[in-house]
Structure 1
C-alpha cells in the first residue's frame, strides 16, 4: 500500500466519506452491550452504495485510516464500554471486527529522557532520503538502533514481510530483523515504523506477535515500534503479549528515546551520565 496516496475521503467526523461508511457499518451490526462487532470488506461496498458515496479505490485504506490515522466517528466511540476503545482487528480473509480494548494506541511519553546517538547515516542517504517510513527505517538500520535498544546483535533480514496468519488473514510488517545475544539465544524482531500523523496501533503489534508464532516458533519474539517524534528524534518501543488480560492484547515492556546528533555534539558530561547507567539495563 502506498501510504503517500491516502484517499482524500478521510477527514473530520462531520461528513467525510470514510467516516460515514464506517459509522453505517458499525451501527447496522451493533447492539447494546456488545464488545465485538463483526463485518466484512464487502460491507464497505454495500454501504458506500447505499449512501451513494463513490467507492474508495483501495478498500483496505478505509480500515488503515481508522487504525492508524484518524479517530473513529463519535457515534462509534460513544458505544464503547467504560474505560475501553474500539480497535479494528482482522479475523480472517477480508473479515474484520470492532473489538473493545483497554488499550488502542501507543503514544511516546513526552517526559522520557533522551539519549544522544552519534549519527552514522551515510551522507548520500541523507541527501536523497524521503520523508516516509522507509527513511526512518534506513536511519534505524544504519545506526544499528535495534541493537542499541535491545542489547542484541541484530541483522536486517527482510523488508515488507507479508504472511497469511490463521484467523487473521494477510498481515505485513515493515522490517524483520534476526538477532543473537551473549547466551547464544536467537531472536526475531518485527519492526513497525511510524511518522507524521500515523499512530502505533495495538492491532499491528498483535499481528506481529501472531506472525512470529506462525513463522518463527523457535525464536524469541520481540515486536518493536519506531516512532519519529521529530526529524532526528525517535521513540523506540518493545512489546510482549499481555497474557494477564482477559482479552488478546499487548503490553509495553520498554520505551527509550534516541536523538541522532553529529559525533562532536556528544559532550563529556553526556558520556559520564551514560556511564553511570548499568550496561545491561
Structure 2
C-alpha cells in the first residue's frame, strides 16, 4: 500500500465497514477515526489528514466495495456535517455531462500567452481562460469580477470546504450576485456535494446576494463547457449550459456572426 490512493481506499473502506449495516442509507463518522483506523491497519497517514476525505468527496470515486452496497439508482457520497464531522449518505445518481450536440460559441481569445505557458496545472489554466475572457459575464449575462480563487474556509453546517474561484457581479437592474465556480479537467466530475456546499457557503456569508453556482469543464477538443446549477430533491440540476471555444479574432467568420445573431 505504498501509493497514496491505495492507502486512502483502505482507510475509507474500513471506516465504512465499521458503521454500515444493510438497510442503512446514512450514518455519521468523525475525522478522528482516520487516525485510529490508520494505526489499526499499520498505514502511515498523510501530513494533510483532510486530503483523504477530500479525495473521495471531490476527486476520485469511492472503492467498489462501498459503491456496490448502494441502492439501485443511488450512490454513496460523503457530506460535511460540521467541524471534524462527516456523513456517509446515499443520494440519487446525477451526472453533469456536456451535451455533445451543442454549438460552441467562438470567442476572441484574450488570454495572455505568457500566463498559459507558465500555469502550474490544467485547472489553473482553465480558470485563467474563464477570467481573462470574461466567460462568466457572457454565460450569466451579468458584469462579474473575480473576488478570490482557491478559497478554503468553513461552513457551520458542513465544516471545511474549498471553492476554486468566487465572482461577484450585478445586472442592469442592479441585482447583485455571488458566483462560486468549480473547475473540472480530465475525468473530474461535478457532484452534489460541491453544489450543496457552494449554496450553503453563499447563504451563510452573502445572504443578501443571489447565488448562481457554475461548473466549468475543459473538454478534449478545446471547448469550454459551462453549467449553471442548482439543487432539487438532493440532485444537481442544470439550469443552463453553454459551450465556448477561444479562437483568434480572424477565425470568427461572417457566417458565425450571423448564426449567433439568430439566437438573440
TMscore range, shorter length: over 0.9
Q: For residues 215 and 110 of structure 2, what CA distance do their matches in structure 1 show? A: 20
Instruction: Identify the residue that residue 13 of structure 1 maps to in structure 2.
Output: none
CA contact (8 A) 1:163 1:211 kept: no
Distance in 1 separating the partners of 2:221 and 2:262: 28
> How much does 1:110 deviate?
2.9
Moved over 4 A (4+): none
1:105–1:57 CA distance, 2 compared to 1 (3 A): farther
Equivalent residue number for residue 272 of structure 1: 258
CA distance in 2, matches of 1:253, 1:94: 33
Task: Decide whether aligned partners of structure 1 residues 211 and 17 sit closer, same or farther in structure 2, where only a CA change above 3 A counts.
Answer: same
Alignment RMSD, CA only?
1.8
Q: 1:109 aligns with which of 99, 103, 126?
A: 99
Which stretch has the larger CA shift, 51-60 or 145-154? Answer: 51-60
Q: How does 1:22-101 map to 2 (within 5 A)?
A: 22-101=12-91
Relative to structure 1, is the Cα distance of residues 66 and 164 closer, same or farther in structure 2, using a 3 angstrom cutoff?
Answer: closer
Q: SS where residue 245 of structure 2 aligns?
A: strand
In structure 2, which of residues 216, 240, 254 is the aligned counterpart of residue 254 of structure 1? 240
After superposition, the C-alpha distances for 1:172-228 in whole angstroms (9 at most, x for unaligned) are 212111111121111110111122343222211111100110011111110111111
Listed one character per residue, the Cα deviations across residues 14-67 of structure 1 (whole Å, up to 9, x for unaligned) are: xx2221211111111011111112111111112122122222232211112222
Q: Is the 8 A contact 2:57 2:79 kept in 1?
A: no
How far apart, CA to CA, are the structure 2 residues paired with 1:150 and 1:49?
Answer: 49
Q: Who is 1:237 aligned against?
A: 227
| Matching residue of 1:167 | 157
Q: Unaligned regions of 5+ residues in structure 2, if any? A: none
How far does the alpha carbon of each residue in 1:58-112 deviate from its partner, in whole angstroms, 9 at most, with x for none? 2211112222332211121111122110111100111111111113553323333
Please report how far the alpha carbon of residue 128 of structure 1 lies from its aligned counterpart in structure 2 after TM superposition: 2.3
1:9 pairs with 2:4: yes
TM-score normalised by structure 1 residue count: 0.87
SS of residue in 2 equivalent to 1:200 = coil
Cα 1:28–1:101 change in 2 (3 A) is same
Within 2, Cα distance between the matches of 1:109 and 1:231?
13
Q: Using the alignment, how far apart are the partners of 1:157 and 1:233 within structure 2?
A: 25
Q: Number of aligned residue pairs: give it.
A: 263
CA contact (8 A) 2:163 2:180 kept: yes
Q: Which residue of 2 aligns with 1:145?
A: 135
For the residues of structure 2 that align with 1:270 and 1:30, how far apart are their CA atoms? 56
TM-score (normalizing by structure 2):
0.93
Tell me what 1:211 maps to.
201
